[in-house]
Chain A
């Protein structure tokens, strides 16, 4: 198979491949920086928790309005945000640690979601409705993903500096009168927003996977927040492109294919990235000679 047929022709021949690729690009741009900030704030598992927390909201949205992208996404967004805000409040007001607080609230939310979904009878169908596949991105989903990516980048441009300071030196931010708690909640809102976009367009695994794996991998390639974010987005998009091709040529499910590529990139990064990887740690000299 020549390189054109292997790498480009699928996207030329099929519109659904092009749409999937555009959705991957938008998702990468939004999730890259958000994921990096999650890693920096030691909240890597929060994305996973929040991905479960949106279920009851989306299910209620479905019960109210049926198969409506807007209502279901909005419901999911509200539920995710509620869990994020409640966990954050409990963590800031009581001695409870934030991860424990998150675990508690997301479990409550998840149980509620499963309950609501089961009362609707065929839960399998509802799950399929709630969580789409990247191969079926329609106009509305694409617009949603692109809007959320745009909004995320704009908001990060405004609050990014404060967020980064809060990551590294919360005491300094407080000393200069920065709105630490407000920044934190704005950031959690961004996380929920990006996850919601990801679910409806691409499925659960995709959303969290594309957010966390590239961000974790970027750490072995870059040192500054801006370059970390750019690297993370680039890795996410590369994983999306390669995963779609893998799904196309090998007839593998697209979501897991994309995430496994991202996982592969992470493992390669851990082993051989230029910053702090196993290679630099155990084979530093050979690296310099090469």
Chain B
């Protein structure tokens, strides 16, 4: 992968050499580049019509394993402001910034949050699935998925607003005003989410999910997220692994199962039926959905996830 991205960067540099100005960007707008769709939505909410936004990893993309393209390097080279999540979420961004020749500030949206460590205590069993996801997601020590707590999301917005105001002082008041309005929406949603999930008895708020992105969510809203024991997503399952997962769900009284990346949907249905649990819908963790999907914005993503989880609990 390393070699491939190097080749990509060389291609990017070659393209930069011949690149002319980009006609799609109006000259008077602040050119903002964000790394992934959640940040893009936040920046758009704060920046409004004053910014021209480019998001590198679009809807439904995976920022963990993203391979930057020459177009990305070019967007970065022409940017006035680059916003990243930080916490080593975008492992590829430093090299991309260097390769593109971007000289401005790189704003870290997660500045000032209380970062959680990448969780290890679900590691009952050194299963293949777990080992694999740990390999993928082992960004140093800290869990980067901080936006899964709306309180952190509000902090992101504050950071973004401050950076936009600094980069474009002419519209600073506007950014501040928009950020305040958006912050109000986030705060209101935060209250709604708490009210909705608090209605579920605490001992029923247990979920099995193969996403490892919900640690902040679980901490903030009192949901117990368990990693599935044993079952690997890639290879053919064994009866022993399926049995272990069924036992785990029975023993811990788990009501809901969100494991859409176990590839055989019939196996998941079987598991749920056997353990008396409910198969939940799709949860959005690392990216938003496309505009026609259920989670086109950060607010929608949160509403969608919470309603899927609450639905699974009340069934």
Does A38 reach chain B (CB closer than 8 Å)?
A: no
Instruction: Please give, as numbers and ranges, the residues of chain B lying within 8 Å of A61 by CB-CB distance.
Output: none
The A97-156 residues at the B interface (CB cut-off 8 A) are: 124-125, 128-129, 132-133, 135-138, 141
A181 vs B109: C-alpha distance when bound (angstroms) = 74
Q: A253–B238 contact, CB under 8 A?
A: yes
Q: B240–A133 contact, CB under 8 A?
A: no
Does B239 reach chain A (CB closer than 8 Å)?
A: yes
The A10-63 residues at the B interface (CB cut-off 8 A) are: 10, 13-17, 19-20
The B265-284 residues at the A interface (CB cut-off 8 A) are: 265-267, 269-271, 273-274
Q: A247–B269 contact, CB under 8 A?
A: no
Does B242 reach chain A (CB closer than 8 Å)?
A: yes
A256 vs B237: C-alpha distance when bound (angstroms) = 11
Binary interface encoding of chain B residues 57-84 relative to chain A, with 1 for a CB under 8 A from any of its CBs, else 0: 0000000000000000000000000000
Scoring B236, B237, B263, B273 by chain A CB atoms within 10 A of each residue's CB, the highest score goes to B236
Q: A136–B266 contact, CB under 8 A?
A: yes
Given A136-B270, A254-B238, A255-B236, A14 contacting B246 (CB threshold 8 A)? yes
Interchain CB contact (< 8 A) of B239 among A20, A125, A256: A20
Instruction: Please give, as numbers and ranges, the residues of chain A lying within 8 Å of B185 by CB-CB distance.
Output: none
Q: A17–B263 contact, CB under 8 A?
A: no
Q: A254–B237 contact, CB under 8 A?
A: yes
Binary interface encoding of chain B residues 220-261 relative to chain A, with 1 for a CB under 8 A from any of its CBs, else 0: 000000000010000111111111001000000000000000
Does B264 reach chain A (CB closer than 8 Å)?
A: yes
Instruction: Please give, as numbers and ranges, the residues of chain B lying within 8 Å of A226 by CB-CB distance.
Output: none
A250 vs B230: C-alpha distance when bound (angstroms) = 13
Q: B237–A135 contact, CB under 8 A?
A: yes
Q: B237–A133 contact, CB under 8 A?
A: yes
A253 — nearest CB in chain B belongs to which residue?
A: B236
Minimum distance in angstroms from B156 CB to a CB of chain A: 32
Instruction: Please give, as numbers and ranges, the residues of chain A lying within 8 Å of B269 by CB-CB distance.
Output: 136, 138
Q: Chain B interface (Cβ within 8 Å of chain A)?
A: 230, 235-243, 246, 263-267, 269-271, 273-274
